[in-house]
Structure 1
Amino acid sequence: MQDNVNKGSTAAPMLFPYEPAQFWQSVRQIVREKVQQAEKVRSVAPTYETPGLTYKPLFKIAEVCSMFQVCRQTIYDWIKDGRLKPYKIKSRVYFLWNDIQQLLKPEDERRGCPGD
């Protein structure tokens, strides 16, 4: 390498003591190890599923909006009218699945009066 530099060739001096193929092989190996470590951490993360639970008990306001395809103001109106009851947990507002199920029923069934 020194001979090429002294003869005026355009080859750049080597800045690190690895051949390019060896360098890229080490980089690939490091990346593989990091990916494997990340996968282990992700698989160890706890699951918050409850065995036997067949429905989601609480819904956020955004979920209720998308479920009924309405805006937030409509949800606030339903709360004001008493059609939907909010439950506050810390600083967040949730709605019970049972209350949402009641809203999904026809209005006659909600009142307890069968339709004619």
Structure 2
Amino acid sequence: MNDGGNNIDAPILFPYDPKQFWQSIRQIIREEIANAEKVKTTHPTYETPGLTYKPLYKVAEVCDLFHVTKTTIYDWIRHGKLKPYKIRSRVYFLWQDIQKLLRPD
């Protein structure tokens, strides 16, 4: 230990100069960040080439699109404004039917 100075000498536990050690650590971090950016996770795309719109919409998506509640959607179904299509246990709506509601003739 240095007396009276700000530098404190610590016992060396491994044979590296502290500056060289930190440079090595910084380099390793840079390499890891670069590798992580290269290997970004890609989300699967469900797009069909040539398809310019989403063909089926869930109830929640139609609610968001029209800013209405599920109750309103079910009321539209009851009154014939929207036709539901059931696929297994899910209910979907066709894009064409949604377009008719968006642009009433």
TM-score, normalised via structure 1 length: 0.63
List aligned pairs for 1:92-103, cutoff 5 A. 92-103=90-101
Shift of residue 75, structure 1, vs aligned partner: 0.4
Residue 114 of structure 1 is matched in structure 2 by none
Match of 2:25 in 1: 23
Stretches of structure 2 that go unaligned for 5 or more consecutive residues are none
In the TM superposition, what whole-angstrom CA distance separates every residue of 1:71-92 from its partner, at most 9, and x where no partner exists? 1110011112222121222333
**TM-score (norm. length: structure 2):** 0.68
Partner SS state of residue 26, structure 2 = helix
What is the aligned-residue RMSD (CA, Å)?
A: 2.7
Q: Give, in whole Å, the separation in 2 of the partners of 1:77 and 1:17.
A: 76
**Aligned pair in 2 of structure 1 residues 13, 92: CA closer, same or farther (>3 Å)?**
farther
Q: Which residue of 2 aligns with 1:60?
A: 58
Q: Deviations over 1:58-116 (max 9, x none)?
A: 1121221122221111001111222212122233321011221232343xx5xxxxxxx
Report the AA paired with residue 60 of structure 2.
Answer: A
Cα distance in 2 for partners of 1:17, 1:81 equals 81
Structure 1 counterpart SS, 2:86:
strand
Structure with the higher helix share, 1 or 2: 1
- CA separation in 1, counterparts of 2:65 and 2:9? 65
How many pairs were matched up? Answer: 97
2:37 to 35, 38, 53: 35
Instruction: Find the counterpart in structure 1 of residue 70 from structure 2.
Output: 72
CA distance in 2, matches of 1:95, 1:15: 68
> Structure 1 stretches of 5 or more lacking a match?
110-116
Alignment of 1:48 with 2:50, yes or no, is: no
Greater relative contact order (Cα < 8 A, sep 6+): 2
Letter paired with 1:35: E
Q: CA deviation at 1:14?
A: 4.8
